[in-house]
Amino acid sequence: MRAPRLVVLLSGGGRTLVNLVDCIRRGELRAEIPLVIASKRNVQGVARARDLGLAVEVFRPQDFPDRAAFAAAQSARILEARPDLVLLAGYLLHFPVPAGLAGRVLNIHPSLLPRHGGKGMYGDHVHAAVLAAGDEETGCTVHVVDEVYDNGPPVMQTRVPVRPGDTVDSLATRVFEAECRTYPEAVRRVAADLGLDAGPGGDEAAAG
């Protein structure tokens, strides 16, 4: 079985992308990443993608006449890359799933959905909400993307305890460690369901 082709979408620092590439290069994940799309031009994720030798393109809503034109152009470019899966990796825009990719777009969210999800709930906002709610545990969720923020069916969840004295930063660090394990495993599971082999693999795995 062949390895899956992954298109990765990001809006920020690109740490999740770097983790995926590291997993590929260590042979823990069999995949190739033919394209990275960023929603902002001057973010660290763009520089990191280029440093990793990946093709990266920027699609910003403000560069198009309206949101429909933006979504159509971005979807056309994604489909041109012939992905098996599209991975949202800190992508902060609503993503209309292109025709033909239903069930093949994944997102990772830094909480145990359905808690602390929805529009505007990302990054430190989520961890602050967990602490404010007095939750005893949090974690991360990989889910299939549908038309509603953080709503699609879950693929995988990893639980992380909330410890006495936790701050937003300490909790974010621990949850991100869980994300680094969970997203590659979720990709392997979904790829297997599609009849693809995402590893762990050998030398044939490639990051670009």
Catalytic residue among 94, 109, 127, 143: 109
56 in a structural domain: yes
* Higher local confidence (pLDDT), 37 or 205: 37
Dihedral pair phi/psi, residue 55, rounded to 5°: -75, 125
Range of the domain at 160: 5-193
Mean pLDDT of 115-124: 95
Total number of domains constituting the chain: 1
**Is residue 181 in a domain?**
yes
Per the domain annotation, does 208 fall within a domain? no
122 domain-assigned: yes
Task: Kindly report the CATH number assigned to the domain that includes residue 163.
Answer: 3.40.50.170
- Whether 137 is in a domain gets the answer yes
Instruction: Note whether residue 162 is domain-resident.
Output: yes
How confident is residue 202, by pLDDT bands cut at 50, 70 and 90? very low
- Domain-embedded: residue 201: no
pLDDT of 99 reads: 84
Spatial CB neighbours of 84, under 8 Å, sequence gap ≥ 6: 4, 5, 6, 104, 191, 194, 196
Q: Please indicate, yes or no, if residue 144 is contained in any of the structural domains.
A: yes
Confidence (pTM): 0.94
- Tell me which residue has tokens 């994944």: 106
> Token digits for 16?
């999740």
109 noted as active-site residue: yes
